[in-house]
Amino acid sequence: MAVNSPNSPRQKMINLMYLVFIAMLALNVSAEVLNGFQLMEDSLMTSSDNSLRRNRLIMDELQSYNEQNPEKAGEWYKKGAEVRAMSDSLMNYVEELKIKMVRKADGRKADVNNIRHKEDLNAASEIMLSPVKGEGKNLRSSIDNYRNTVTGFVTNENLRAIIENNLSTEPSPSAKKLNKNWEESLFDQMPVAAAVTLLTKLQNDIRSSEGEALASLLNSVDVSDFRVNQINAYVIPESNIVIQGGTYNARIVLSAEDSTKHPLIFVNGSTMPEGNNGLFAAPAGSIGTHTVQGYVEMPRSDGSVLRRDFNNSYTVIEPMATVAPTLMNVLYAGIDNEISISVPGVAPQDVSATMTNGSLVRKKNLWTAKPSRVGETAVVSIAAKSGGQTRQLASREFRVRALPDPTPYIEYTDANGNPAMFKGGALAKGVLVNAGGIKAAIDDGILNIPFQVRSFRTVFFDAVGNAIPEVSDGSRFSERQKEQIRRLSRGKYFYISGVRATGPDGPEREIAVIEVRVN
């Protein structure tokens, strides 16, 4: 029979992947990382299918016991059928939500297994959080009802705690601080690819919880009557996906164990040492799919030997890591440049990074890079901790540039009462008279960095064309400059030049000239 251990490595793998996704979803991730969700989605679906097969084996065994002795096993079989029906109903409902999300993002011909608009941030919110037809509250209620019912069939406190934890609808501490409920913390502004993966993870937890409940019901049947003729061998991996250079870990067990007898385990042509307690480890060397196969032998009480074969596989992938600046494709010296760093399949807290030619600091879900010297390359190197080992995964070079010159401007309020920036051309005399002075900033759609204007001068022209320069009072028009402006008639012009400003990178620089024509 199939048994779901409370310390199942498969369950640990699923929980780890869930934490990875929750941390990654807050990031402005690249298309490369969005595509990585498909890899996780496939792994979760495979794990869910494996759970479904194990659960079917348990139900088949319960049905067999019921046919042999309905008086003894009938009660447990009916409860198992109830658990199976509730699980299938909730699984189908979650699958319908996935389809609705993907159709909202991709249209009526959408394919859940091939999402085109993975980055769509509105589909999940509209389906789950809409004030009128949002499904989030209903899903939370359905999960609560399922959890409360299923845990009633589980007698073991540890297993019951696992189900309650896997199917908890309590928001995380960080979500509570933001006054978000469970559904808002999961689906508010989530990329549709991530939202679908979260629902697949939920389906995985449903199948896992179903298995715990069915196993508990099966354990309620008298062992001496039924258990001995349904022993099966299983490979339970911590993960079916392993980073190259790491270690594939799996537990090979029989579905029922006798503490007085130790099975003989043969894996890939070799006998596993008895002291390993069924723990199998293989170095993840070459990339690709690798097979774990063999058989388990257990002596029966009559002297014969029970043999069960097993077969499983795992995939070794290349180390992957992404480093992307969130605002620009280069790093600028002297300022904080936000970048995102992620490693698919590894929790954010297990990812570390360093940088040459400057400093690199983690700030919540992002990193801040501050280069030191212009013209020198800055190299960001990423490492990840997996299976107790820390490995260097990737590095990326960035060019370091000085901040571009800011643009000087006169700030004023337009006819609609909105703030506006005058950078040259014609401007009403009244606006000029009321203007306080000159400001400067980099505002090119990529950077938005204010500068401090230290001084500037104006150049007016008298009736015969002689230039009359006047010096500012810091960043403000001096009284002499204001007087010259008041004297200008319509169509006359003057220049604002010699604008000197400093930015967050430190050096003072002289920036562009503004030509002003009185309108």
**Predicted confidence (pLDDT) per residue in 406-454, tens digit:** 999 999 988 888 889 999 999 998 899 889 899 999 987 667 889 999 9
| Sign of the Cα pseudo-torsion (329, 333, 338, 343, in order) | positive
Are 414 and 490 within one domain? yes
Q: Is residue 412 in some structural domain? A: yes
Output the CA torsion 470→473→479→484 (10° steps).
30
Distance CA 61, CA 299 (A): 22
249 in the same domain as 328: no
Q: Which residues of 274-284 are buried (b: 16+ CB within 10 A; e: fewer)?
A: eeeebebebeb
Residue 517's pLDDT band, with cuts at 50, 70 and 90, is: very high
Q: Which residues touch 327 (CB under 8 Å, ≥6 apart)?
A: 337, 338, 446, 447
Provide the CB-side half-sphere exposure for 26 (13 A, CA): 13
CATH code of the domain containing 396: 2.60.40.1080
Residue 365: what pLDDT? 78
Q: Which domain, by its residues, includes 45?
A: 9-223
235 and 383 share one domain = no
> If you count them, how many residues does the chain have?
519
Does 165 share its domain with 184?
Answer: yes
Is there a single domain that holds both residue 145 and residue 26? Answer: yes
Query: Per-residue pLDDT averaged across 243-257, rounded?
Result: 67
Q: Per-residue DSSP letters for 170-220?
A: PPPHHHHHTT--HHHHHHTT--HHHHHHHHHHHHHHHHHHHHHHHHHHHHT
Mean pLDDT of 205-218: 89
Q: How many helices (H) and strands (E) does the chain have?
A: 12, 26
Average pLDDT score over the chain: 82
119, two tokens: 């980055």
The verdict on residue 2 lying in a domain is no
Residue 221's identity, in one-letter code, is: V
Q: Does 136 share its domain with 241?
A: no
- The pLDDT of residue 458: 95
**In a 3-state reduction of DSSP, which class is residue 251?**
strand
Out of 288, 318, 348, pick the residue that ends a domain. Answer: 318
Judge whether 3 lies within some domain: no
Q: What is the dihedral of CA 456, 460, 466, 471, to 10 degrees?
A: -30
What's the rounded mean pLDDT across residues 289-297? 85
CA distance linking residue 126 with residue 101, whole number of Å: 8
What strands, in cross-sheet order, belong to the sheet with 247-254? 233-237, 247-254, 279-283
State the Cα–Cα distance between residues 285 and 336, nearest whole angstrom: 39
Provide the pairing of β-strand 389-398 with 378-386.
Answer: antiparallel
Task: Give DSSP secondary structure letters for 372-437.
Answer: -STTS-EEEEEEEEETTEEEEEEEEEE-EEPPPPPEEEEEEE-TTS-EEEE-SEEE-HHHHHH--B
pLDDT in tens, 110-142: 888 888 888 888 888 888 888 888 888 999 999
Residue 384 within any structural domain of the chain = yes
Domain presence at residue 4: no
Sheet bearing 322-325, strands edge to edge:
322-325, 337-342, 366-371, 358-363
Are 199 and 105 in a shared domain? yes
The pLDDT score that the predictor gives to residue 346 is 73
Which one of 292, 318, 344 terminates a domain?
Answer: 318
Query: Average pLDDT, stretch 175-202?
Result: 86
Q: Does some domain include residue 66?
A: yes
SS3 percent helix, strand, coil of the chain, rounded to 5, is 35, 30, 30
Q: 343 with 480, same domain? A: no
- Cα separation, 131 vs 86, whole angstroms: 27
- pLDDT band of residue 510 (cuts 50, 70, 90) is very high
Structure letter (DSSP) for residue 260: T
Would you place residue 463 in the very low, low, confident or very high pLDDT band (cuts 50, 70, 90)?
A: confident
Indicate if 314 and 348 belong to the same structural domain: no
pLDDT at 11: 62
- Averaged pLDDT, 24-49: 60
The total of other beta-carbon atoms located within 10 Å of residue 141's CB is: 11
Residues 471 and 438 in one domain: yes
Q: What is the pLDDT of residue 223?
A: 41
Are 118 and 266 members of one domain?
A: no
Residue 487 CB-density burial (10 A; 0-12 exposed, 13-18 middle, 19+ buried): exposed
Convert the pLDDT of each residue in 392-405 to its tens digit. Answer: 888 889 999 988 89
pLDDT band at residue 471 using 50, 70 and 90 as cut-offs = very high
For residues 211 and 204, the answer to whether their CB atoms sit within 8 Å is no
Is residue 32 within 8 Å of residue 205, measured between CB atoms? no
- pLDDT score for 321: 62
What's 312's domain CATH number? 2.60.40.10
Instruction: Report the alpha-carbon distance of residue 436 to residue 459 in Å, rounded.
Output: 17
Q: How far apart are the first and last CA of the chain?
A: 89
Residue 102: CA atoms inside 13 Å, Cβ hemisphere, count? 19
Give the torsion sign (CA, 412, 413, 414, 420). Answer: positive
Is residue 498 included in any domain, yes or no?
yes
- Give the model confidence (pLDDT) of 171-185 as tens digits: 888 888 888 898 888
State phi, psi for 72 to the nearest 5 degrees: -90, -35
Q: In terms of pTM, does the model score above 0.95?
A: no
Number of compact structural domains in the chain: 4
Least confident of 243-252, 416-425, 460-469: 243-252
Which pLDDT score is estimated for 191? 87
Look at residue 75 and give its three-state secondary structure.
helix
Asked if residue 459 is part of any domain, the answer here is yes
Beta strands across the sheet bearing 378-386: 351-355, 378-386, 389-398
Residue that terminates a domain, selected from 318, 334, 352: 318
User: What pLDDT does 82 receive?
Assistant: 92
Kindly report, residue by residue over 312-357, the tens digit of the pLDDT: 777 666 665 656 565 556 899 988 888 888 887 677 888 899 999 9
State whether 373 and 419 are in the same domain.
no
